[in-house]
Structure 1
């Protein structure tokens, strides 16, 4: 009997240690994610705070064609640069947690089904919605798919965002026309993209040429 009790205690202790280890791992991953930039109104300050984000957005632009400013305008609108944000749960009786309204999560607020398509087509199995590299690449991939399906120019951030929110099918049906909030958000994205682009033109060189091997004709390549 004592041996059985001791074994049970050992099993419980092992489970506790495992649960603690998993919890610490999850917490550590969350802690590793950068804090949202304090000044989100200026793309130069965003990239000064997180210079690797420039590299990610530029790689996405080169691969898929969506301008850097538009990518960042999408992410600011969707998540305010919060890496693990998800839609708030519904509350029953004001305090009982219910289901979330969608599976959106991460910087780009990508839904589970389309994120799965992105991983299968371009991102790979290790792509994470909480990593800016994958979020910018996802936005570029999605917008290029939108361009092929709808003909929207990659330099038309307002209508790209409408299709991003409604999907290509919803955009073609004009579902956004009955959604004033979506139209306002798209207008805000367009204005922010224009502002970001103007700001970026004055500071982009410092992000292109910040590494020791980037000089002269190699700058910006």
Structure 2
């Protein structure tokens, strides 16, 4: 009989270690899946510096569909404030009980179920998710491309692109926005944001294209 550590429980130590490793794995998984909005959403350079894959994703969408980066980013800011799980508030049943949401809009681009299905089929992106930035920014570029084809809206016309995005192509053709003064004000706000983003992007885009900070 061994005289070493007579009271030790040999199986317990490895199990404790496994439990610690498993807990650490779960914690890392939760942290890895969490996606918080950029710290400073008023400056496009700061956004792209913090979210280091977003510029390339936005540039890919611009190349594929033709909408300027600053236009797409201004639209996304208005729609979701860059929150990956953004959704309309729930209705209330008897003023207390949470009911269904007002629409199926979800994710960075606030795309509705039917429109997202149309996008996946039309663009051939069957695995696209509304809470993935690269898919959402591609969706905005794609939708603006559809607005350009159907409605003749220029791809740098943020004001009218946003109205068509919000009201749908049929609503834009019927000019439903004319009865929504708040929406017209919002579209003007998005257009101003796109101009600001564009001016900011011109100051940092070469650096972003080079893949990092310039070192002198």
TM value normalised by structure 2:
0.82
Q: How does 1:69-108 map to 2 (within 5 A)?
A: 69-108=70-109
Q: How far is 1:95 from its partner?
A: 1.6
SS of residue matched to 1:166? helix
Residue in 2 aligned with 1:194? 195
Give the gaps of 5 or more residues in structure 2: 1-25
Q: Which has the higher helix share?
A: 1
Partner Cα separation in structure 2 for residue 128 and residue 52 of structure 1: 16
1:16-165 alignment, distance < 5 Å: 32-165=33-166
Structure 1 distance, partners of 2:183, 2:30, is 32
Deviation at 1:44, TM superposition (A): 0.4
Shift of 1:185: 1.4
State the alpha-carbon separation in 1 of the partners of residues 195 and 119 from structure 2. 27
Contact between 1:123 and 1:138, CA under 8 Å: does it hold in 2?
Answer: no
Superimposed CA distance per residue, residues 20-54 of structure 1 (whole angstroms, 9 cap, x where no aligned partner) = xxxxx9xx579524210111100000001102100
In the TM superposition, what is the alpha-carbon distance from 1:210 to its structure 2 partner? 1.6
Aligned pair count? 187
Q: Structure 2: how far apart are the matches of 1:128 and 1:196?
A: 25
1:166 and 2:167 are equivalent in the alignment = yes
Q: Which has the larger radius of gyration?
A: 2
Q: Relative to 1, partners in 2 of residues 1:199 and 1:162: Cα closer, same or farther, differing over 3 Å?
A: same
Cα distance in structure 2, aligned partners of 1:112 and 1:30: 28
Deviation string for 1:63-100 (max 9, x for gaps)?
00000001110110000000011101011233211111
| Greater mean deviation of Cα atoms: 121-130 or 39-48 | 121-130
Moved beyond 3 Å, runs of 4+: 28-31
Aligned-pair CA distance for 1:169: 1.0
Gaps of 5+ in 1: 1-24, 212-221
1: CA distance, partners of 2:160 / 2:208: 29
| Secondary structure in structure 1 of the residue aligned to 2:187 | helix
Q: 1:119 to 1:62 in 2, by over 3 A?
A: same
CA RMSD of aligned residues (A): 1.9
